[in-house]
Structures are given as structure tokens and as C-alpha cells.
A and B are shown apart, each in its own frame.
Chain A
């Protein structure tokens, strides 16, 4: 257990800027990986964690180069090796499991070939032995029917299956060290929990060391023995996982943990001000100085060294870490309670809404005009009250974004009605809606990089809705823009900036401001925080809540993240395959009894706490289409009771907590089953 496999010494990696300056992305990083140990490297985007991980395989991305230091694998420096030598180590001694297996598997080669390639390169097995080994490997990563799986192409598998193939491929060369670069990011919650469980099993089973790189403290907490926290290219905290997560003694880690929404607590997490400095912008002092609430003048001029704290077995880069040592009780409790100011008036009603993606092709239209009997979204009935935040949750393919698009008028409904204010039916066709209705419903998109026009300044972006809906111009327009910026806590000087000059969080604030510019009654939020870093996410959530309380706006909030939904929503609707499973006040939906699907989802949530393990109750099968009849969750339900689930749509049952559950199992029975 104490043998060191790989050791990074004083590693700095950087690039040459256009002005000829050398800019470091990694600064003076040193760490050791021991045999059989799993080390989690955590940090937000731009912290240099991926660069570090790739350097540990002797791979430096194009445009970057090592400035100093070394990466010693079994006391040989990987950064000085020829590509011939590296080929002997990569895949055989150190193997990689990539972030997005869907893109990391070569599209024109079959699964079996790609695993076989690794076997041919790194083992001496002959053809029949290799074929046997491929089956074995596919079996080990728990892929169904390994024999036929080998003959399939990557695109024929689901995301979770692709990730498993990548794991099998990495295991083919029997490596001593496995490098995992965000291996579960982009997967659905249940799939993610399953893949993590598999990785834990493999670590135990084979005794392989692992380096697990992620931005997600929840995932890191589940697998790591030791955690390395990166900030702006430096290690700021390093130590045993439990210590780091329960008693973080660096203000960044402390703030990061506090900004993660918790499943167990309603209310908004504390946010950290500011954002990570750009590479090259730190000249002197501590890189966290601008955002730190413990900072003193000393920190501005002097950068702290990594200091070893013996009693905690932890390295920390902070002058004031002692102040944090006994503060850790605050980690759980400091959460802002939010007020629910929803009124009894219903502002938006979805009545029996069905939406179908099935396009009538030209020839089909001529020949047979059968309409889609099994639409993507079916029988949605939701009444949304003025001033409330209602969340739609579900995994990918649950139809949550589809419903949002229909409310916005971007997607026509097949059946049913969307009623706005006093039961007035909104046309499903955007062109038929009157300008005032268009103004009243605004949309904020997931990715502000794509939703903001890169050639417009912030001023131009914000002036468009103001001109369009309120015919403002001149001084008045400018005054309104400044007001809007103030509302989302951005200064006046942002007006002349282009989106590319803003950070992710600032961009999303501009997108929020643009939505509010129309003075809307309803704002539709489509995964608005999922492209953001955790610390920024908390800030955006707090901003949305504040604006809502000030202006009385109604939110329809779509997300796959149950903890985020718990933090912001008043009511939650759980969707599976475009059908409602459960709906009710959020504090009750997160309590039992709940719909079996809600139970599965809640069980799979990863919390940044090594003591809370996910509960895996259902298989992570991906269903392509909703079932023709019966309950939508019949295919995966762990509590399925029999044929009735396949043949009849379950009835709505109202629980004593006020949440409605659509299940054949009697609600009291469900409650006792889930105790």
C-alpha cells in the first residue's frame, strides 16, 4: 500500500501567449500516487486538473509544453520519453478512461475490434485467447450479451454502455494505474451511480490505482481514498477524502462544499463571490485572494506554500487555515431559507398536453396518414400558480425540455391545450400568438455560449427585448439596460463587452437579464445551471430566487439535478418517458412514499459525503421509446407488481402529504415498502 507508483514533482505546464509571455496553466504541482489507492482530483473548469491528469500519462495537449518538473512513473520521467517508449506504457501500465466515451470510441470500428486492438498491443495472447478475453472483459463491466456486443458499433450503444466499453478497453492491458477523466459527467444520474459502483468494484477487485478527475465532489466522494483540490493551476488542499470533505481547512474547498445544494435540506446554498482568475493574471499573492473571506493584507502580496498539517495528514495552501479548523459544523446548516410567495391564482395550465416528434414524411403523408399513437409526451396536466417555482425533473428522454419548448411555442402540441391567464388558450403555433403573450413568456437556455449572439455587445443583447416590446430608445433605453444589469449584479461597464469577454457565470447573468428585460410573467429555465461550475451555480440560483421574490415572476424550472431542484423549487413534477409519475410540493416529493421512479432517482443522487452511499434499486437500461400501454416505468420498475403494470395506465393517488403519485401500488403500501 505504501509503494509509490507515480510521482509528480514540481510540474509546471504552460503556453506562450501572443505577446510572447510564458503563461502557466499548472504551477509547481507535486503529488504521489500509491499502489492500490484512488486519488480524486477535483477542481472547477480551468483549474488545470485535466492537464495534470494527461501529463501523468506523458501526454501534453497541442500548444502546451512542460516548463519544469517531472512525472515519474516507476522512477522514469514520462515527459522525457520518446513516443516509442510511451506506446509501451500507455494502455499497458497506465490506461485512460475518457470523459465522453461516445466521442472517444472510434466511430467506424466495432467494439470488439477496439478492445482487441488494446489486447494485441499489450498482451501476447493469440486470436482465440483474445476472443475469450474480450467476452470476459465485456462481462466484467456488466454489459449484456458480451458475444453480440463485440460486433456492434459504438453509436449503437447507450451512453452508459459506451462508458462501460471504455472501461473494458482500459482494463484490457491490465494497467497498474487507471486514469479517469470525468468518466461519469454527461451521464444520467442513475447511469452515473451504476458506473461509479462498477469502478469501485474494479478498484477493489484488481487492486489497480486510480486517479479520478472530476468537477463533481459528489462523485469524487464516492470513490476516492485521497482528494487533491486544484485551484487556478495549483494544489490548494490535499489529504484523506473524509478529512477534506468533512473538515475542509482551505477557504476555497470550504466555500465549494457550502455551494453544493443538498438533497436533505431545502433552501439555497451559499454562493462564493467572483470567479477563478484567468491563467497568467496572477502576478503575486494568493490566487484565491479576490474571493476569500479570510483574506488579510498579507495574502495580497505573498503567496502561501503548501503546508503539511500533521494531525490532519493534510497539505494546505493558506495562511489562515487555522480559522477554519473548528468551523465545520457550519457546513451543513448555513443555507438560506427561501420564501414561497406564490398566490392562489393559476397563471398557466397545461391540459392533456401531448407532443409528438414523429414527423410525417412526404411519402407517408401521401400514402397513409396514421398519426402517432405513442407520442413522446402524453397526458400532461399541470396547473402552475402565479409566483411559484415549479420544477420538471427526469433523466434525458423524459420529455422535460420538450414540454418547456411547447409552452414557449417552439414546438407544436399534438393534443391538449396550454392556457394562460384566465383560461385563455395559447396557440401552439408561435406565429399565431399575440405580442403580449410572447412577451409574457420568456426562456433562458442551458448554454449561454450558444444563446448569446457572439457578435453583439451586452448592450445590444439587452436592448433588443426593450426595443421590441416597449419601443424604448435613447436615454430611456440606456437607463433600462443599466437597471437590468444592476438587477443581475453586473456593473455598467459590462455594456460594451462581448459575450466572449465574460465568464460562464457572467454570461448566464446576461441571459437572465435578457429574459427579465421583457418584464415577463413566466420564465422558462432549461437546465440553466448545468453548464456552470458549482460555485457559480449557487450564485445564479440565488440570483434567480432574489429576482423572483422582488418581481413575483413564475418559474418553470427544468433540471436533471435533484439537489438543485430541491434548492429552488416550490413544487416538483417527476417525468419518465414523457409521462408524469409524481407531482407535489417539493418537501413532500423528496419524502416517502414516492413513485418508484422518484425513489430510484433519489437513491442515485451522489452527495459530497463519503458516508452517504447511493442506493441502486433499478437497472440502468435506456429505453428508446415509451411503452405502448400501461405504466411508463414498467420496463425498469423495481416494485413492479405484475401484468397490470403492462396493461393499464396507473391511477393517480393523492398521499397525505399532498403529493400525487401515479402507481398501481396502494399508496399506504408504498409507504411501508419504502420505510
Chain B
């Protein structure tokens, strides 16, 4: 078991290593380098030399990669060009803000998705299912930038209930944030919840049709007891990995939503640093987002391992 966990972690690290290579090589093969890209027309003479010296661009690429990679491994992402300060200081509050946004969305979205999924499955083809399924399919098809814009239009502009744009300093406190993030959270969790609810629905329906559920009925197990004991544990297990994928996929939604709501998180930082041509920050963000992706999937794998008695006892049969 322990070996298996270590193996998974090892594989995750290998993935990250490959991502770091790709980002580094990607930046390398771009015409010019970080300095010429950033300085643009002023990329000559003393300014360029100073920049090159500061970023250490005068040493060979592989040395720079090793240097950069070992710094990243220690948690030091280098120096932001546009912010004129260490990247870590730029990242700190942004990571916190995005984390708040994402975790609130997840905390609301996942339980809601599970409940909706179960309801639609148990009342399959009846009124509750038809209603909820229509709504979920509808919200699945609208991309975030449209739903976010519509939310602003309706809730913020027409109704005037909530602020349409998040205007808070990037180091705002948690409470300041909370009142501002209701709309972004709704925008993000809509698609995610819909996807997961569909997934849970089909998984529950599949398990309800299984031999062991029929057996439980014929054994005289009361309906709800059967649902909670025999159906749900087996139906939600395969859903875990999909949930993880959906969460990872939510990262993309976060980027879009943050831009629409002007929310000072990682997503907006991605867009900002790209338009500022701040390559060191872009590199750092690529690694961070990749780590989150790998991390979530790793957690999902481990959870499946923990919960599935088949995998737990590791009796792998043909």
C-alpha cells in the first residue's frame, strides 16, 4: 500500500519535472529572451545588459534550467520584471484569493452536485429528474464568460443587489473577499456542478441496475437503507476521479471568471503577466497550475485507493 502511494507520488513528480522542462524549453525557443521580450523597443545598451545580468541570461541554457529548477524546488520562483519584486511576493496574495474562490466553489458545488445527481437518478424520468436535468444540461452548455456576463447584467446592473466588479486590494482580508465573491462563485460552480451531477446520476443509475441492488431488495432491505448502504458507496467511488478532473478543469474557469469580474487572483495574474510579457512569472504560474492539477489527481487516486476494498487489499487478479 505504502509502496503504491510512493509510486503515485513519484509519478506525479516526474510529471511536474516534464512540465518544467516543457515550459523552460518553450520560453527558450521563443524568438528573443525574457529581457528582449519585456523591454521591447528599449532592448538595447545598458538597460538590456542590466536586465540580462539580473536574470543571469548570460550563462548557457542548461545551467540556467538547473539553477531555475533547483530554486523552484526550494520554492523560489525568481524575480518579476513588471512588478520589480520577487515573484513570491507577487504570488502570495493572489494564490490566497484564488484559493478562496476555488474552495468556496468546490465546497458548495460538490455536495450540491451529489445531491442533485442522486435525486435525478432515484426519480429517473419523473418530474424532479426532468426539471433538474433540463437545468443542468442548460447550464453545462453556457460557457463561463457568458454566464458571468449575464450574472453581472442581471444581478448587479438590473437588480443592483451585488457588486458587479470586485474592487478590492489584492491583499484584502477574507471577510472583505467573501461579500465580493458570490457572483464569481456562482459563475464558476454552475458548469462544474452540472457536469458532476450528470456524472453522479449515471453512476447511481448504473449501480441501481446491478445484481447486488436487486439482491438487497429481495433480501428485504428497506429502500432508503438500501440506497445509503448498498448504492451510494459504490456509485460515488468511480465519481471521485471525475470530480478531480472537473476540479482541475475548474482552473480554466477560474481564469476566465477572474478576468470578467476583475478578481485579483492567479487567473488574472496569468493574463496580466502574459500581456506584460513577464516571462518569469508566466513560467512560475505554469508550474504552479500544473502542480495543482497533479496534486488534485493524486489526492483523488489515493482516495479511491483508500475507499475501494478491492484496491486496498491489492489482490490483483487477471
For the complex, is A423 an interface residue (Cβ under 8 Å from B)? Answer: no
Q: Do A106 and B234 have beta carbons less than 8 Å apart?
A: yes
Q: Mark A100-113, 1 if CB is under 8 A from B, else 0.
A: 10011111110000
Q: Which residues of B205-264 have CB atoms within 8 Å of chain A's CB atoms?
A: 210-212, 214-223, 229-230, 233-234, 237
Q: Do B212 and A121 have beta carbons less than 8 Å apart?
A: no
Stretch of A90-98, A316-324, A485-493, A540-548 lying at the B interface? A90-98
Q: Do A103 and B212 have beta carbons less than 8 Å apart?
A: yes
Q: Do A108 and B210 have beta carbons less than 8 Å apart?
A: no
For the complex, is B275 an interface residue (Cβ under 8 Å from A)? Answer: no
Stretch of B170-178, B189-197, B307-315 lying at the A interface? B307-315
Q: Which residues of B262-318 have CB atoms within 8 Å of chain A's CB atoms?
A: 307-310, 313, 315, 318
- In the bound assembly, the distance between CA atoms of A98 and B218 in angstroms comes to 10
Q: Do A91 and B218 have beta carbons less than 8 Å apart?
A: yes
Name the residue of chain A whose CB is nearest to the CB of B216.
Answer: A106
- In the bound assembly, the distance between CA atoms of A359 and B237 in angstroms comes to 28
Min distance, Cβ B203 to any Cβ of chain A, angstroms: 14
Question: What size tier do the contact residues of chain A reach?
Answer: 20 to 34
Q: Do B310 and A117 have beta carbons less than 8 Å apart?
A: no
The listed residue (B212, B215, B220, B307) touching A92 by CB distance below 8 A is B220
Min distance, Cβ A177 to any Cβ of chain B, angstroms: 12
Given contacts A90-B220, A121-B221, A122-B220, contact A108 B309 (CB under 8 A): yes
Chain B residues near A153: list those with CB within 8 A. Answer: 309-310, 313
- In the bound assembly, the distance between CA atoms of A370 and B165 in angstroms comes to 65
- In the bound assembly, the distance between CA atoms of A95 and B215 in angstroms comes to 10
Chain A residues near B313: list those with CB within 8 A. Answer: 153, 155-156
Stretch of A81-89, A198-206, A553-561 lying at the B interface? A81-89
For the complex, is A525 an interface residue (Cβ under 8 Å from B)? Answer: no
Given contacts A100-B211, A105-B212, contact A173 B220 (CB under 8 A): yes
Name the residue of chain B whose CB is nearest to the CB of A107.
Answer: B234
Chain B residues near A72: list those with CB within 8 A. Answer: none
For the complex, is A169 an interface residue (Cβ under 8 Å from B)? Answer: yes
Q: Do A357 and B221 have beta carbons less than 8 Å apart?
A: no
Q: Do A87 and B309 have beta carbons less than 8 Å apart?
A: no
Given contacts A106-B234, A357-B318, contact A87 B222 (CB under 8 A): yes
Q: Which residues of B88-128 have CB atoms within 8 Å of chain A's CB atoms?
A: none
Given contacts A153-B309, A155-B309, contact A103 B219 (CB under 8 A): no
Q: Do B229 and A109 have beta carbons less than 8 Å apart?
A: yes
For the complex, is A444 an interface residue (Cβ under 8 Å from B)? Answer: no
Chain A residues near B217: list those with CB within 8 A. Answer: 59, 90
Chain B residues near A92: list those with CB within 8 A. Answer: 220
Q: Do B234 and A108 have beta carbons less than 8 Å apart?
A: yes
Q: Do B219 and A118 have beta carbons less than 8 Å apart?
A: yes
Chain A residues near B309: list those with CB within 8 A. Answer: 107-108, 153, 155
Known: A104-B215, A106-B230, A118-B220. 13 other contacts (CB 8 A): A87-B221, A90-B219, A91-B219, A96-B215, A98-B218, A100-B211, A103-B212, A105-B212, A106-B234, A109-B229, A122-B220, A155-B309, A155-B313
Footprint of A on B, CB under 8 Å?
Answer: 210-212, 214-223, 229-230, 233-234, 237, 307-310, 313, 315, 318
Sample 16 A-B pairs with CB under 8 A, ordered by A number: A59-B214, A87-B221, A90-B218, A91-B218, A91-B221, A96-B219, A100-B211, A104-B211, A104-B212, A106-B230, A117-B221, A121-B219, A122-B220, A155-B313, A166-B215, A357-B318
For the complex of A and B, list the 9 residue pairs with the smallest distance between their C-beta atoms, beginning with the closest.
Answer: A91-B220, A90-B220, A103-B211, A104-B215, A96-B218, A153-B309, A91-B219, A104-B211, A106-B212
